[in-house]
Structure 1
Amino acid sequence: MSVVGAQTANINLNAGMPPKRIARMRRATFFSFVGLGTIVGTWLMYTYLAEQGMRKAEWLLLATFLPLYYQLNVGFWTAMFGMWLMNRPKPDPLNLWRTLKPEDHESEITASTAIIMPVFNEDVTRVFEGLRAIYLSLEQTGHSKNFDIFILSDSNQTSQWIEEETAWLELCRQLNAFGRIFYRKRRKPINRKSGNVSDFCRRWGKRYRYMIVLDADSLMSGSLLTSMTRIMEKNPGIGILQTFPKQIGAETLLGRVMQFAQSLYGLPFMDGLDYWQCGEANFWGHNAIIRLEPFIKYCALPALPGKEPFGGHILSHDFVEAALMRKAGYAVRLLPTNRGSYEEGPPTLVDMLKRDRRWCQGNMQHFWLLFAKGWHFMSRINFAHGILSYASSLLWLLFLVFSTFLAATPVAHIDPQAVLAMQILLGVTVMLIFLPKFAILLDEMITGRMHKTLKGRMLTYMSSMADTVVFTLMAPVLMIFHSQFVVYTVLGKGVRWVTQRRKVDGGVDWAEVFFNLWPITAIGVVWGVIAWMVSHGFLLWISPIVGALLISIPVGILVSGRSSGLRFGLFLTPEETDPPTVLSTMNSNLTEIKGRIHLPPELEKFHGLLQVCLDPYVNGLHVSLLRRRKSIDVSRAYLDQIADRLIKQGPSSLSPQEMKAMIHDTETMTDVHYRIWSARDSDLAPFWATAIRQYNLAASSPFTHTLAQQTEPVLA
């Protein structure tokens, strides 16, 4: 691809930025409704609490109620304004799709775009088959020459690294994509994903006008990728354009419920966010296109003062990058998309909690950024909402604790006016929680946006009722865990960077569920006893919370099972009933790969190591990709000693540090390959005898089940 320079500095930053008059009007309207609803709800709560005078516990209860009710109103009015935009007679004048004319979809694309995918110990097969599907989809548009793909690896597991290298070479060979698909392995994973992206920008960013960021589980269609590029070309004032990634590939009940809910409710909320965020939207870190020149110039992330978790490297870098881009004068916009942008989600409740632990620390870090100079006021609101998304769980828990205390110390007489205020408040609260859901469901039943058939709409209705039950049972459990995460962060307990599990192999891990959820059950027992001692009426009032805590373990097992997510035709999404080409291409290749012969379990763990040690093709590839170093970090004698143990005792005898030292040295890797093939059987560990026998007996190489459409063995 020819190198295309950055855009000139004399660009119209207003192109893509909503007019100030419209943005101010929309925000004034939105936050007026939110503020009015919050004030009314808080006044009703105060009327109820102040009937006999305000005690300290009642003031504390009111203090926790206020931000919770504000957050509830924000969600309610976001959904309602989104529904209005979806059903208004005329299209939204600020919708970016309107900037593309029919002839623009057929015009030539002149901008160069880099599609980057940072990976860290991910499923190699899923990563590269996803990239294959994206590449083929781009070729169908006729504009693939304007896009380059970069796999940016920070994987620190030896087998993952070698498998990635082999998969990259085979993908390039099969697609004839040398010079179009690139692979880079960092030696030191500094600053995690954001550091990986920053390293790419420093090395190659000036060659491209745009950068599309993907997660390892992302999937995007070629038509959407080209449309995003065209929108950015039409609107040079946009710095970041974020799509709505829909969840796909779920197998467990939790995954399918989340996938269905996102498909049904996601677009109205996306439209609602676009209504009031306007040009100050958030960046979610992936499935988005970025204008590289201002991103490189203005969006470098500084380290926060102090130590983790509040200081140090910024975890939730995407929110900060969006704020920095807006601070530089560029718009950050949402692109409401119903097709073409996809991702995968955590399969089990425990996996979701592990992900939330990282997100919680990242969002809580933004507390200090609230007070930094120079932010647009909407960027501060976005930071505050991100913090509140997790802090609200602790506030909810405190609200229930204060309620329990007040119920244990009742007043002598409650005025009918106070009772009426509470009844009105309960009615309004129920409306705020459930009205958007029923409005979206009614819209689906009338319009059939997800499913056109009557059967599909009826299944959608039943699925919506069922997901209400699932979310109701999980909400108190998430409340306890998120409260714990917030407290851990405040107390200075950080979180490690680990690979996210995206699929469940085998059945439910009952021990994992029990180990993580038994404290929740214990809290439910204690809370239930206290509530019963307070009064039977209070126990009835709090029973939905206590009951969900008591059955948290069976619920955790139920939602984490694979078979439990595929019954009765519930939770179907359009991507399942009518999959787009990019998704069906990836799924068909993954299905083909699953049917191939795999290595025995004792060899599978060292799949990549077997490739690089036994196959001259893979060994030569790996050695050629290693950067030559003027000096090595360890002595030659040390490396020779590691190689001897590997050959005579097998890979299990090496520590991860020893394996890493060996795999980074070109001379050692070349020597190991030669010595294994030239040694007598008596000089080799039994592990190698088994591996060589498997290598020689297989009709096609058992080490190369990474890619579909493979025409010849890599290890032959």
Structure 2
Amino acid sequence: MNAEIFPTSIPEPEGILKEAFDSRKFTYRRLGFVGVLGLLSLFGIYLEYRFLLINGISPLEWATLLLFCFLFPLLAFGATTAIFGTIQRIRGGDPTRISGLISGQNASPKELPPTAVVIPIHCEDVARVAAGLESMMKSAASVGLGENLDFFLLSDTTDPDIWLQEEKAFSKLSRKPETKGRVYYRKRRINLNKKSGNIADFCRRWGRRYRYMIVLDADSLVTGECMLNLIRLMEAVPNAGIIQTVPKIIRGKSLFQRLAQFGTWLGNPIFGAGSYYWQVFSGPFWGHNAIVRLKPFMEHCGLPGLPGEGAIGGKILSHDTVEAALIRKAGYTVWFAYDLEGSYEECPPNLLESLKRDNRWCQGNLQHFWFLFVGGLRISSRIHILLGILSYGSSLLWALLLIATSFTVMADTDYYRLASIPEEWAQFQESMYLPVFYGLQIYTILILFMPRILSFLDGLFFRRKESGIGFFSFIISFFVEFIQSVILAPAYMVQYTRFLWMTFWNRKIEWGPQNRDPSQGIDRMAAARALLPQAFYGTGISIWLFVYYPVLFYWLLPITGGWLLSYFWGVWTSSSKQGELWKKRGFLLTPEESKPDTLLSDTETLEKEYSEFLEGMESGRGIFLSVVDPLLFRFHTSRLRTRKKESDARKRYMDVLVSNWKESGPGSLNSKEMSRLLWDKRILSDLHFWFWETDLSKTHPWWKERFLEYQTRIRKEQIVSWFR
């Protein structure tokens, strides 16, 4: 192992880092944060206790108070984070933030250590991935990192057509002079352990060649300047194991994406600064748009199997939080570079796709339950694990609290209505019951919306101009995004409760391909099955409450209203036309849209180029080209190994598959059988020579039809090249 690439010890912090590592100041930070959190929580719990005490506390009300004592601090946690984030924003930034070290780094990019940029993919839009990869390579070269970075496209794709599209795109990308020798493609034959297994496979094969690894997702984009800053920060903080950036959402086309894009742009700075205040060097890791120190990562972040094979057992689905905990356990730090510019990602195109992603995250986070009790983990790591679990697990508890509070109000209303005459009941309501009830409600709403209020003020007075959005456009954009959160929050609560229920019944979720294309719209039937049932029972509950318990009707109206409107809102916001219309009118704009960005514009241009290059490779056509087209055939087979030994039984089995393909077309084979053929160099070589030597009139029509398409496309390309 190269000692220059991998230092053998963890150096002590020096310079301005000493302030961040000052245990006394660090303790004061956390005590201050916990103190404010406690004060906000205790006052809310006191108001709840006063409300329940009006008619004496019954067993149901004690249960309600217990739930409230557990859940209200979660609301207060968000408010406290926003308060401290606002304070840091006002004072000009946290003095211990890691990005403050960038100005002191003057080393030439050529002097920096070798770094790998890895992009694990699984059945993604190949044109988008290739375009993003090439634009990032250009951006990295523009800041002098051309010789320091190697880019790895790590494929776990199971669809044969998409696999061959990846190879064709890579063949184009790797031939370009500016990328040659800097980009590598690896297709795993066995997709063991999904994404985490893909990263582990890279570490085993190539990890010892690099000091750092920048991990990206298929939809990630990171500027060369951001990569340079991440490497320099790693060099400046020798005991840093991970530095996580906060990616901004970009390329929003549907209205749902644009609302998410605007909301994260508005809220992330305050939340990031507030989170960093109590985390400092014990930050989060999200598994992408981050840089990792490879030596400790390889030595300490091997993921164990979980007990059992049920929904929260077996292989770990969400690996990032566990890896951050393990690297902290090893003595390294995890930093949250919340204000580092140039890190981007995309978001799901509609509500249904967002819920599908959350379903996977929910089960993955619930698996982390086992790590709450692992010895040696830092308290901050346990807090991150617990917050991840509660981000989904608390939905069921909130639903139970709403039900318990509703029954409490019903019981009180019935008691006072029967125990007093109407005039006394009305006077009691106005003088005692409703003031306490409304006081509790107003305080709860204030704490709930405190982050949005502070983000709104921060955006209005300090950040609006940087987005290129007008004053009234900003106000309207904020309130539309706010309305979406109010409508969808109750729907998310129901859906997360359903996810928990499915997990409790041991229904295991698998990580599948993600739909990132807004042009496809939303599957209305699937959305109806997910969202309309809550609309029906929300209507029934609302009518019943309006007749018998008007106070509860108005109190629960934001919840029942969200249930009624979530389906229609989800369908409306899934439209790309609506997204484009709002953009043209100047709403929901972000700085990445109003200011020119070379990385984003290059990606848009290259995506069109790769889309044209890969045209005609869908629906089995890519499989055909891998056999017939001389260039793609040579490229594909050059990446396959010739079997040294092959049993007679296997030869007979493979020959049967080939015979079926020749005589009946690819429709006679399933995906696994087709993949076996595409992995076999001998079979593909035989097929290639068979095709060019055989009489196609005697074969299955599929071969002749695909060949006519192939000839037509070649002639079109020749004609276009002549006119150019």
| Corresponding letter in the other structure for 1:504 | P
Q: Secondary structure at the match of 1:255?
A: helix
- Is 1:19 the counterpart of 2:19? The answer is no
Q: Which residue does the alignment assign to 1:653?
A: 668
Between stretches 75-84 and 506-515, larger displacement belongs to 506-515
**CA distance in structure 2 between the aligned counterparts of 1:700 and 1:96, rounded to whole angstroms:** 57
Does the 8 Å CA contact 2:697/2:704 hold for their aligned counterparts?
A: no
Q: Which residue does the alignment assign to 1:469?
A: 483
- Is 1:87 the counterpart of 2:86? The answer is no
- Is 1:576 the counterpart of 2:579? The answer is no
Q: Which residue does the alignment assign to 1:398?
A: 400
Q: Which residue does the alignment assign to 2:603?
A: 586
**CA distance in structure 2 between the aligned counterparts of 1:270 and 1:369, rounded to whole angstroms:** 25
Does the 8 Å CA contact 1:444/1:457 hold for their aligned counterparts?
A: no
Q: Which residue does the alignment assign to 2:76?
A: 73
**CA distance in structure 2 between the aligned counterparts of 1:298 and 1:586, rounded to whole angstroms:** 36
Offset, 1:101: 2.9
Matches within 5 A, 1:663-682: 663-682=678-697
| Corresponding letter in the other structure for 1:436 | P
| Corresponding letter in the other structure for 2:459 | E
Between stretches 243-252 and 672-681, larger displacement belongs to 672-681
**CA distance in structure 1 between the aligned counterparts of 2:180 and 2:517, rounded to whole angstroms:** 31
Q: Which residue does the alignment assign to 1:209?
A: 211
**CA distance in structure 1 between the aligned counterparts of 2:71 and 2:508, rounded to whole angstroms:** 26
Picking from 154, 159, 162, the partner of 2:161 is 159
> Per-residue displacement from partner, 1:497-548 (whole Å, max 9, x unpaired)?
2011111334443223223222222332343244245423322221221122
Offset, 1:338: 5.5
Q: Which residue does the alignment assign to 2:8?
A: 9
> Per-residue displacement from partner, 1:553-587 (whole Å, max 9, x unpaired)?
21221121211222232211111111421111101
Does the 8 Å CA contact 2:121/2:217 hold for their aligned counterparts?
A: yes
Offset, 1:66: 2.2
**CA distance in structure 1 between the aligned counterparts of 2:265 and 2:201, rounded to whole angstroms:** 35
Does the 8 Å CA contact 1:65/1:399 hold for their aligned counterparts?
A: yes
Q: Which residue does the alignment assign to 2:423?
A: none
- Is 1:236 the counterpart of 2:251? The answer is no
> Per-residue displacement from partner, 1:322-361 (whole Å, max 9, x unpaired)?
0111111111000123631011111111101110001001
Q: Which residue does the alignment assign to 1:446?
A: 461
TM-score by length of 2: 0.92
Does the 8 Å CA contact 1:451/1:457 hold for their aligned counterparts?
A: no
Offset, 1:668: 0.8
Picking from 34, 39, 43, the partner of 2:42 is 39
Offset, 1:397: 1.1
Change (3 A) 1:287 1:31: same
Q: Secondary structure at the match of 1:80?
A: helix
Change (3 A) 1:645 1:107: closer
Does the 8 Å CA contact 2:5/2:113 hold for their aligned counterparts?
A: no
Between stretches 590-599 and 225-234, larger displacement belongs to 590-599
Q: Secondary structure at the match of 1:426?
A: helix
Change (3 A) 1:105 1:254: farther
**CA distance in structure 2 between the aligned counterparts of 1:128 and 1:279, rounded to whole angstroms:** 34
> Per-residue displacement from partner, 1:192-232 (whole Å, max 9, x unpaired)?
10111111111211111001100011100000001100010
Does the 8 Å CA contact 2:82/2:270 hold for their aligned counterparts?
A: yes
Does the 8 Å CA contact 1:3/1:208 hold for their aligned counterparts?
A: no
> Per-residue displacement from partner, 1:228-276 (whole Å, max 9, x unpaired)?
0001001101100000011111211111111110111112111111111
- Is 1:662 the counterpart of 2:677? The answer is yes
- Is 1:423 the counterpart of 2:438? The answer is yes
Does the 8 Å CA contact 1:4/1:112 hold for their aligned counterparts?
A: no
| Corresponding letter in the other structure for 2:61 | E
**CA distance in structure 2 between the aligned counterparts of 1:314 and 1:30, rounded to whole angstroms:** 32
Change (3 A) 1:492 1:402: same
Change (3 A) 1:267 1:73: same
Change (3 A) 1:632 1:486: farther
Q: Which residue does the alignment assign to 2:422?
A: none
| Corresponding letter in the other structure for 1:574 | P
**CA distance in structure 1 between the aligned counterparts of 2:624 and 2:393, rounded to whole angstroms:** 48
Q: CA RMSD in A?
A: 2.4
> Per-residue displacement from partner, 1:468-521 (whole Å, max 9, x unpaired)?
111111111111000111122122211022011111334443223223222222
Does the 8 Å CA contact 1:647/1:676 hold for their aligned counterparts?
A: no
Change (3 A) 1:559 1:632: farther
| Corresponding letter in the other structure for 2:691 | I
Q: Secondary structure at the match of 2:470?
A: helix
Does the 8 Å CA contact 1:247/1:345 hold for their aligned counterparts?
A: yes
Offset, 1:190: 0.7
Does the 8 Å CA contact 1:109/1:230 hold for their aligned counterparts?
A: no
> Per-residue displacement from partner, 1:354-382 (whole Å, max 9, x unpaired)?
10001001111112211111111111111
Matches within 5 A, 1:147-296: 147-296=149-298
Matches within 5 A, 1:47-58: 47-58=50-61
Q: Secondary structure at the match of 2:697?
A: helix
Picking from 628, 642, 650, the partner of 1:635 is 650
> Per-residue displacement from partner, 1:90-122 (whole Å, max 9, x unpaired)?
x42211122123562656433110100111111
Does the 8 Å CA contact 1:264/1:450 hold for their aligned counterparts?
A: no
Matches within 5 A, 1:607-646: 607-632=621-646, 635-646=650-661
| Corresponding letter in the other structure for 2:53 | A
Does the 8 Å CA contact 1:238/1:333 hold for their aligned counterparts?
A: yes
Q: Secondary structure at the match of 2:305?
A: coil
**CA distance in structure 1 between the aligned counterparts of 2:161 and 2:608, rounded to whole angstroms:** 22
| Corresponding letter in the other structure for 1:57 | L
Q: Secondary structure at the match of 1:480?
A: helix
> Per-residue displacement from partner, 1:616-661 (whole Å, max 9, x unpaired)?
1111111111133344586212212212222222212211121122
Does the 8 Å CA contact 1:118/1:193 hold for their aligned counterparts?
A: yes
| Corresponding letter in the other structure for 1:174 | K
Q: Which residue does the alignment assign to 1:63?
A: 66
**CA distance in structure 2 between the aligned counterparts of 1:300 and 1:76, rounded to whole angstroms:** 36
Q: Which residue does the alignment assign to 2:122?
A: 120
**CA distance in structure 2 between the aligned counterparts of 1:711 and 1:360, rounded to whole angstroms:** 52
Q: Secondary structure at the match of 1:117?
A: strand
> Per-residue displacement from partner, 1:131-180 (whole Å, max 9, x unpaired)?
00000001101122111111111111111111112211210101453432
| Corresponding letter in the other structure for 2:279 | Q
> Per-residue displacement from partner, 1:42-82 (whole Å, max 9, x unpaired)?
12101111222222221222222223211111111111211
| Corresponding letter in the other structure for 1:583 | L
| Corresponding letter in the other structure for 2:70 | P
Q: Which residue does the alignment assign to 1:559?
A: 573
Q: Secondary structure at the match of 1:613?
A: helix
Q: Secondary structure at the match of 2:440?
A: helix
**CA distance in structure 2 between the aligned counterparts of 1:384 and 1:418, rounded to whole angstroms:** 36
| Corresponding letter in the other structure for 2:570 | G
Between stretches 394-403 and 317-326, larger displacement belongs to 394-403
Q: Which residue does the alignment assign to 1:706?
A: none
| Corresponding letter in the other structure for 1:465 | F
**CA distance in structure 2 between the aligned counterparts of 1:292 and 1:700, rounded to whole angstroms:** 49
**CA distance in structure 2 between the aligned counterparts of 1:160 and 1:452, rounded to whole angstroms:** 37
**CA distance in structure 1 between the aligned counterparts of 2:191 and 2:361, rounded to whole angstroms:** 19
Does the 8 Å CA contact 1:13/1:330 hold for their aligned counterparts?
A: no
Q: Which has a greater percent of helix?
A: 2
Matches within 5 A, 1:343-422: 343-410=345-412, 412-413=415-416, 416=431, 419-422=434-437
Q: Which residue does the alignment assign to 2:506?
A: 492
* Corresponding pairs, count: 700
Does the 8 Å CA contact 2:165/2:614 hold for their aligned counterparts?
A: no
Unaligned runs of 5+ in 1: 704-709
Picking from 474, 493, 501, the partner of 2:515 is 501
Change (3 A) 1:13 1:353: farther
Offset, 1:551: 2.6
Change (3 A) 1:9 1:533: same
**CA distance in structure 2 between the aligned counterparts of 1:263 and 1:286, rounded to whole angstroms:** 18
Q: Which residue does the alignment assign to 1:321?
A: 323
Change (3 A) 1:191 1:594: closer
Picking from 443, 450, 469, the partner of 1:435 is 450
